[in-house]
Amino acid sequence: MQLSKRALYRFPWSGNDNPIGWLEVTDKCNTYCRGCYRINGMQGHKSLDQIKEEITILKKWRNCDNISIAGGEPLIHPDILEIVAYIRSLKMKPLILTNGIRMENDRDFMVKLKKAGVVGFTFHIDSEQQRPHWKGKTETELFELRQHFADMAHSVGGLFVSFGMTVYPGNLDFVPEMVAWANRNIDRVHGLVLIGFRNAAMEGGYNYFADGKLVDPKTSYFAESTAESYLTSADVYAKIKEHFPHYEVSAYMGGSQTQDKLTWLVSAQLGTRHKMYGSVGSKVMELFQMVHHLRHGTYVIYSPSNTIPKIAFALGILDKQVRETSGKFWREMLRHPAELFRPMYVQSIGIIQGPDLLADGRVDMCESCPDMTVWNGQLVHSCRMDEWRLYGNYLMAQPRTTPAENGGQFVAAETIPVARKSEELVAK
């Protein structure tokens, strides 16, 4: 199927009404990931008071359903249990984005986090990490580790569990294996997050400016070459679709500067441990978002439960894909009646395409960025926060073929997505 925005639901999230609040509690990490946006250990752990202030800002300005606790590696923060409990006390869902190293052999720590109020974990595991005892392992060999964490969380119970992987041209062919593994474990793996690798190239035609001054960028996402810069969300979608006919996308987010970009692609697959049947369509995805907003006042992205009653197939009245999925299930049930008594699960796949540097120097971000975080009391894009930490602003790219190289006009600031000041956010 050729992806078409007309067939998909566009998430209605905005800067001030967004299900996700992105909280970075530390920039320290206990491993190295090639695709990481953050300089390790530049500032260290934030204080508990600062973290609470940032959580309050996210709740007030973003209307969050959940707080994604990130880093660095959040589990090495000494106050992580208190952080989780504080988020929960504000009636938001704490979700931890982790490499899992801290609790690989410590199930009791996972239990403590659950008691503190955590709703789940997204474990980032891929072959480009310098993970202790797992260096040099292929994506296939790393399924042993992924299975370990999935089984651990399943034994604790009541936790949302997803697995993240940075997708490079070199490991794109492993993505179908990742999906097949997740499908086999649909009772304990709620979803996958597949992030297309992005960098900003130093080679070729751009100068970079901070507040009008020429700079030599030092962030971790600047590279000498563009060789691995252009894997798109559509590329990852096509690779999955090639192997899994039941898989289909139902929702998307676009770009901030271009009309044809698909920055987020989200699917919700339906199946049992015995068989995958299909995917939710755009109408049911829209209904899910609207009903949650009407009932709870927020949009939603994560749920601790991934079981659904089979009566939900009645939504096929509204949704063609659910109708087709329902037909496949009932036909299978006639051949294998035991399928009627097996639980039905929903499993998401989120594909994320990072920022793109356009030919004229503009940066095409995710529209209504779900991963805005707090820096010095204002919201900035988490994937570009090191520009603020190093230079106090977003860097602006200027093609070297323009007069800017000889002291001409810089790219106008308003052509680059910039963070809004706190007073502007409050006013809106």
Share of the chain above pLDDT 90, in %: 75
pLDDT of 87: 99
3-state secondary structure of 175: helix
Q: Is the pLDDT of residue 302 over 60?
A: yes
Partners of 363 in beta bridges: 357
For residue 135, being part of any structural domain is answered with yes
Q: pTM for the whole thing?
A: 0.90
| Cis peptide bond N-terminal to 117, omega within 30 | no
Choose between 406 and 285: higher pLDDT. 285
For residue 326, being part of any structural domain is answered with no
Predicted confidence (pLDDT) per residue in 258-299, tens digit: 988 999 999 999 999 999 999 999 999 999 999 999 999 999
Mean pLDDT of 88-95: 98
Q: Where are the beta strands (DSSP E) in 199-250?
A: 200-201, 206-210, 213-215, 222-223
For residue 190, being part of any structural domain is answered with yes
Strands 378-381 and 372-375: antiparallel
Structure tokens at 215: 């700079």
Mean pLDDT of 182-187: 98
Predicted confidence (pLDDT) per residue in 346-381, tens digit: 999 999 998 888 888 899 999 999 999 999 999 999
Mean pLDDT of 409-414: 36
Burial tier of 70 (Cβ tally within 10 Å: 0-12, 13-18, 19+): buried
Helix residue ranges per DSSP H, 93-142: 107-116
3-state secondary structure of 13: coil
Predicted confidence (pLDDT) per residue in 196-240, tens digit: 987 765 555 788 999 999 988 877 666 655 555 578 999 999 999
CATH no. for residue 121? 3.20.20
For residue 418, being part of any structural domain is answered with no
Q: What range defines the domain where residue 28 resides?
A: 7-199+224-304+347-382
Mean pLDDT of 392-410: 66
Do residues 162 and 267 make contact, with C-beta atoms less than 8 angstroms apart?
no
Closest CA relative to residue 40, chosen from 50, 31, 29:
29
pLDDT of 53: 98
3-state secondary structure of 198: coil
Distance CA 10, CA 20 (A): 16
pLDDT of 157: 96
For residue 127, being part of any structural domain is answered with yes
Mean pLDDT of 131-150: 95
Length of the chain: 428
Query: Which residues, other chains included, contact 145 with Cβ-Cβ below 8 Å and sequence gap of 6+?
Result: 100, 104, 125, 134
For residue 22, being part of any structural domain is answered with yes
Structure tokens at 403: 């007069």
Number of domains composing the chain: 1
Predicted confidence (pLDDT) per residue in 101-111, tens digit: 999 999 999 99
User: What's the number of CA atoms in the CB half-sphere (13 Å) around residue 212?
Assistant: 3
Q: How many helices (H) and strands (E) does the chain have?
A: 10, 21
For residue 204, being part of any structural domain is answered with no
Rounded to 5 degrees, φ, ψ at 130 are -95, 65
* Count of beta carbons in the 10 Å neighbourhood of residue 226: 14
pLDDT of 424: 37
Distance CA 394, CA 270 (A): 41
Predicted confidence (pLDDT) per residue in 147-159, tens digit: 999 999 999 999 9
For residue 403, being part of any structural domain is answered with no
Do residues 389 and 375 make contact, with C-beta atoms less than 8 angstroms apart?
yes
Q: Is the pLDDT of residue 423 over 50?
A: no
Predicted confidence (pLDDT) per residue in 20-73, tens digit: 999 999 999 999 888 888 888 889 999 999 999 999 999 999 999 999 999 999
